[in-house]
Chain A
Amino acid sequence: MSQPANMPRWASLWLMPLLNLFAALFVSGLVIALIGEDPVECLKLMINGAFGYPEGIGYTLFYTTSFIFTGLAVAAAFHAGLFNIGGEGQMYLAGLGVTLVCLQFDYLPAYVVIPLAMLAAIVFGGAWALVPGYLQAKRGSHIVVTTIMFNFIASSLMTWLLVDKLRMEGSQTPATREFAQNAWVPMLHELFAPLGFELPNTPLNASFFLALVALVLFYLVVWHSPKGFVTRTVGLNEKAARYAGIPVDKVVIAVMCVSGALAGLAAINELLGSTHRMNMGFTNGIGFVGIAVALMGRNHPVGILLSALLFGALTQGGLDLSFEKPAITREMIIFTQGLIILFCGALENLFQTPLSAAFKRMLKNQ
């Protein structure tokens, strides 16, 4: 018997993640002070970089888009009790699907090639998660171990393909040729220009709306559909799932496929929205940030939107900051991200005991 926490729901949903976030920022500030910079000034620069001017906001939302997809991927698996750490590899492989479609078919009109590329992202990302899912369901191989290993396999496979097979002829860079414009997902500033809105030129593209749709669909499926019901039952109580006649192994495999497909959609944002070609290592840790996004967002779409926005702002604000302050390198930003993951994920309940004690005192005094 454990003592029930004395905390109102709003406090555990909002106050705790915020406290964790502030703790992470505080420690980051200490380190920044240690290397001789002014933490308050740095924070101001970062916020300004992320939200202070139109281009900044565009970039922030562009990064947010990818984080929403990889965050949803982790959350989907989580609801079935699975910890999918393979978002990075699944996104990478989805990128391969997108690339193959674009290299072959980018002479076709946009309304054919873009849906085709999206389908390829879903199929390739899903398939890369299918194997660990199958191994978990049928062979009991732990999903954490297999998905991690699949990240490495994906990385090696893609290196080989990009160096030996897909590299643009006559180039030394491990990257494909640029895709034809037909395959580019329209930029937001292009979309809004005819309507008379002048948006800055940023990689923010229509995938952002796709991400928002995915958030809404995620909510409906998980909490308002039999499929989500079955998934959550498997995640919360496998024995009850068997009692209820739910095919647990099929659910595990299916959910992993959905999870991989969601991670795969992040590749659309990156490849067809921004770079318009496949580069080696284009995933750049986005799959891993998805874990933090899901943890901090409590696997709920609203939380995921907010935490994806936070990490998007950190990425963009951090880049701006490192331009302004040479002492603050890209590694420093990754360090801050790491601290946020540490405080929000691993040390999630750090403040629970003192906080619930505080609430208890408050209730007594009333």
Chain B
Amino acid sequence: MAELAIELIGVNKHFGEVHANKNITFGVRKGTVHGIIGENGAGKSTLMSIIYGYYQADSGTIKINGKAERIRSSHAAIGLGIGMVHQHFMLVDPFTVLENIVLGAEGGMTLDGSLAAARTHLQKLNQDYGLQVDPDAIVGELGVGTQQRVEILKTLYRGADVLILDEPTAVLTPQEADDLFRILRLLREQGKTVILITHKLREVMDITDDVTVMRAGEIVGQVRTADVTKEDLADLMVGRKVNMHLDKAAAVPGEKVLGVSGLNLVDGRGVALLKDISFDLHAGEIVGIAGVSGNGQSELLEVLSGMRDATSGSVQFKGQELVTLKTREPKAAAYRKLGIAHIPEDRSREGMVKDFMTFENAILGYHDDPSVRRGFLFNRKAIIERCRRFIDEFDVRPALTHRRIGLFSGGNQQKVILAREIHANPDLLLIGQPTRGVDIGAIEFIHKRLMQLRDEGKALLLVSVELDEIMALSDRIIVMNGGAISGELPAAEATATSLGLLMGGHK
């Protein structure tokens, strides 16, 4: 047995009545890449926060390099050689790479000395780990993949021997992810230990040596990656057999529902966010929009759902022109009445009001509908009955109409939103990131439900940063890059590589 970089023995953590980490015991071997997987809310983040000193464990022991330690702050963790690369980068955009790296570890009265020392140190790190980052580049001007490398450099500069990466590939193209993995392998070769938190099983299989699987706050499996398959891990995560394969019949596209042509969107500063977007969408088909997040997909959804006005171009919905449509109410309300439903990308900030009860969220956007009113008041009974039906039909848990929706898990929140939007019986369903932050069990359910809608003859436009999801669900795939369409291809012909190239803007 190799030496352990980190060892946890019987660690427990409670938040109120929630037992977030139950009797966690596991070890990370030195010089390995260790994957930690689990559904949302399985306790991965809590566990990492304990190791990184954000939280203190209620009980249990943490050993770093065989020695029991109390990690009271992230400062202490850094002192022990633990570094963390967060999902959302902690960088100052207008600063240079060098300034960002020195930030928080300046030392001395003036910056000049430490900057010069840092530059030398940085060059060595750059070389050792093949990071290829220009120390004088402005961070805000760098691509996401490079910014991530700056984060990695930051932790290495502070002398990290153990790197914790939280969902590092969420914002990367497949090619950028490959690049990251190359760097992680190099780090491993140089004797560093890497802990990778992820929910993407493919990545776990790709790069890790060991895997720890968490479910409901407990560790349910600790295995060598070489000994297991993707399916084994999925079953462990969910705690039951998961059908990862989606049975998909060939699409039978009907008449044209949506026709977008020459659509442009320019923001207040003159930046073109959508450039000459044109595509068609028919009844009974799912068109997927792939792309690294931030390449215009969100804006496209906003325009098509009426939340934002296009600058020029045409959007024909069932033969009606939407761009020049004059409405008394906000366009989002008008479009909804025409038959366009929208599941927004940012579920918790747009799709629902966290402090509202389930039944209140069940009518958001449809609150003016005659079916929920009685005179100037609500028909409370009808609303609660409708919510109850949503809960039954979509298996929302816990099955409570009077509970703040912010307290539900991501998957259950999404089910409520999905139920609400489907209930309106729309002709066109705009779907943004349907399974972001959703547990595997619910993903399966949501995917099946979306396929069912397609087979019922609805037109679905799916935006997702998960390539697997796009490829599994779509009949046609459109790839966006820099606000423009960089390619379109039938799903049957798409591979991660071909899509990845298009996502990167190569035609």
Interface residues of A (CB under 8 A from B): 1, 3-6, 220, 224-227, 229-230, 232-233, 236-237, 239-240, 242-247, 360
Contacts and interface: CB of A to CB of B under 8 A. Distances in A.
Nearest to B407: A4
Contacts of A246: 330, 333
B378 A243 contact: no
The 3 residue pairs across chains A and B that have the minimum distance between CB atoms: A245-B333, A245-B332, A244-B365
B377 A237 contact: no
Given A229-B367, A236-B353, A240-B350, A245 B334 contact: yes
B148 to A, nearest CB: 23
Interface in B369-392: 372-373, 376-378, 380
Contacts of B256: none
B188 to A, nearest CB: 30
Interface in B354-406: 354-356, 360, 363-365, 367-368, 372-373, 376-378, 380
B344 interface: yes
A243 B360 contact: no
Given A4-B16, A6-B16, A226 B368 contact: yes
Contact of B377 (A3, A224, A230, A242): A224
B380 to A, nearest CB: 6
A34 to B, nearest CB: 42
Contact of A247 (B306, B330, B350): B330
A59 B221 CA distance: 72
Given A224-B377, A225-B377, A242 B355 contact: no
A226 B15 CA distance: 36
Interface in B424-478: none
Contacts of A360: 16
Contacts of A3: 15-16
B247 interface: no
A229 B334 CA distance: 19
A291 B334 CA distance: 38
A233 B367 CA distance: 11
15 contacts: A224-B378, A226-B367, A226-B368, A226-B373, A229-B367, A229-B378, A233-B356, A237-B353, A240-B351, A242-B332, A243-B342, A244-B367, A245-B329, A245-B331, A245-B335
B70 interface: no
A247 B331 CA distance: 9
B307 interface: yes
B256 to A, nearest CB: 25
B502 interface: no
A230 B331 CA distance: 16
A230 B352 contact: no
A243 B333 contact: no
B268 to A, nearest CB: 14
A84 B404 CA distance: 27
A230 B353 contact: no
Nearest to A234: B353
B335 to A, nearest CB: 8
Given A226-B367, A229-B360, A244 B332 contact: yes
Contacts of B355: 236-237
Contacts of A230: 367
Interface residues of B, number: 40
Contacts of B365: 243-245
* Residue of A220, A229, A360 with most partner-chain B CB within 10 A: A229
B269 interface: no
B336 interface: yes
A245 B380 contact: no
A227 B378 CA distance: 10
Contact of A242 (B17, B307, B335, B378): B307
* Residue of B16, B352, B363 with most partner-chain A CB within 10 A: B16
B326 interface: no
B507 interface: no
Given A226-B367, A229-B367, A243-B365, 13 more contacts: A5-B16, A224-B380, A225-B378, A226-B368, A226-B378, A232-B353, A236-B353, A236-B354, A237-B354, A240-B349, A240-B364, A244-B333, A244-B365
Contacts of B350: 239-240, 242-243
A107 to B, nearest CB: 36
B87 to A, nearest CB: 13
Contacts of B380: 224
A244 B364 contact: yes
Contacts of A236: 353-356
Contact of B351 (A4, A232, A233, A243): A243
* Residue of A233, A236, A245 with most partner-chain B CB within 10 A: A245
Contacts of A237: 349, 352-355
A232 B352 CA distance: 12
B332 A243 contact: yes
A6 B17 CA distance: 8
Contacts of A220: 377
Nearest to A363: B17
Nearest to B376: A225
Interface in B324-350: 329-336, 342, 344, 346, 349-350
Contacts of A6: 16-17
A159 B16 CA distance: 56
Contact of A245 (B306, B356, B378): B306
B409 to A, nearest CB: 15
A344 to B, nearest CB: 21
Interface in B3-26: 15-18
A240 B332 contact: no
Nearest to A242: B307
B197 to A, nearest CB: 15
A298 to B, nearest CB: 13
Contacts of A233: 353, 356, 364
Given A4-B16, A220-B377, A224-B378, A240 B353 contact: yes
Nearest to A249: B330
A291 B172 CA distance: 49
Contacts of A225: 376-378
Interface string B37-58: 0000000010001000000000
Nearest to B379: A224
Contacts of A224: 377-378, 380
Interface string B301-340: 0000111000000000000000000000111111110000
A354 to B, nearest CB: 16
B74 to A, nearest CB: 14
A360 B16 CA distance: 8
Nearest to A244: B365
A4 B14 CA distance: 11
A228 to B, nearest CB: 9
A332 B355 CA distance: 40
Contacts of B373: 226
A239 B336 CA distance: 16
A219 B365 CA distance: 22
A3 B46 CA distance: 12
Nearest to B352: A240
Contacts of B356: 232-233, 236
